[in-house]
Amino acid sequence: MADQFDFDFDAPETSEDLFAYAREQFERLCREHPMKRKPTMIWKALRVSAGKAYFTHHAISLSSIVLTTRQRVLDTLIHEYAHLLAFDRHGRKAANHGPHWQQAMADLGAKPEVTHNYTDAIVRNQKRSIAVHVCKKCGARFELARRLPRTRKHLHRGCGGLVAYVHHATPQRD
């Protein structure tokens, strides 16, 4: 499908540019492969999924974090649109990667591939912030995933001093 376009798909672009491209391609898919009800598209900060199809809301969400190139946007948009197209044609029984979805992918001119390899862009299970605590007696610093509960006092095992919450910080990335 990429051979239809005169564009360097691997060049980095801004999220706004990619959203505009996604919107254009979404409108093209809606024109060329209409459904009983026109779906909506949402550009969302999904950290793990490249995209999602919502059957009950007849909507597609695409990740502004994971989708970093036009090729990824196009592949994911077609994948999710195929889910809604199969669901529109065949109902609940088509809400998977089975033969109805595979046929919808073929109708859209794409290979029915279920997974992608966008691991470079996925922010799975990385700490977004850390809770910094300090022992008031010896000054030892503790970086925890969560702030300790305020309902009780916490003692430092090493010196017996009181441990107090200081602030949240952004962890250093490797």
Residue 58 is part of a domain; what is its CATH number? 3.30.2010.10
Domain residue limits at 154: 130-169
| Structure tokens given for 2 | 């990429």
Looking at the fold, whether 102 and 152 belong to one and the same domain comes out as: no
Looking at the fold, whether 134 and 102 belong to one and the same domain comes out as: no
The number of domains in the chain is 2
Looking at the fold, whether 84 and 151 belong to one and the same domain comes out as: no
Looking at the fold, whether 100 and 136 belong to one and the same domain comes out as: no
Cα separation of 139 and 38, whole Å?
60
Mean pLDDT by 10 residues, the chain (174 residues): 52 84 97 96 89 95 91 94 96 92 95 76 64 91 86 90 85 60
Looking at the fold, whether 147 and 102 belong to one and the same domain comes out as: no
Residue 115 domain flag? no
* pLDDT at residue 13, as a whole number: 80
* pLDDT at residue 3, as a whole number: 46
